[in-house]
Amino acid sequence: MATHLRIPQRYPSDGIEFRIVPPMIDLRQILQDKRDLLDRQLAEAKFTRDHAATPSESGSDKTRQNAEQLMDSLNDAKKKLKALELELNKLPSFSNTATTNTLVTLRTPLGIKNFLLVPDGFGGQTISDTFLLSVSSALAQVFINKKVGYTFSFNGGAYEIIFLNPNT
Specify the higher pLDDT residue, 52 or 159. 159
- Domain 92-166 fold is Chitinase A; domain 3 (3.10.50)
Using only C-alpha atoms, the chain has a radius of gyration, in whole angstroms, of 22
Answer yes or no: is pLDDT of 9 > 70: no
Residues 101-129 pLDDT 10s = 999 999 999 999 999 999 988 888 898 88
65-79 in b/e form (b: 16+ CB < 10 A) is eebeebbeebeebee
SS3 116: strand
Mean pLDDT of the chain: 84
* pLDDT recorded at residue 14: 52
Domain ranges of the chain: 92-166
Specify the higher pLDDT residue, 15 or 147. 147
Residue 91 — pLDDT band, cuts 50, 70, 90?
Answer: confident
* pLDDT recorded at residue 4: 45
Answer yes or no: is pLDDT of 10 > 60: no
Instruction: Specify the length of the chain in residues.
Output: 168
**Cα 12 to Cα 51: distance, rounded to the nearest angstrom:** 65
Q: 3-state SS of 9-59?
A: EEECCCEEEEEEECCCCCHHHHHHHHHHHHHHHHHHHHHHHHCCCCCCCCC
Quick one: which of 113, 74, 89, 115 has its CA closest to 28? 89
Answer yes or no: is pLDDT of 23 > 90: no
Residues 130-139 pLDDT 10s = 999 999 999 9
Q: How many CA atoms lie within 13 A of 80 on its CB side?
A: 12
* pLDDT recorded at residue 20: 56
- Dihedral angle, C-alpha 30, 35, 38, 43, nearest 10 °: -140
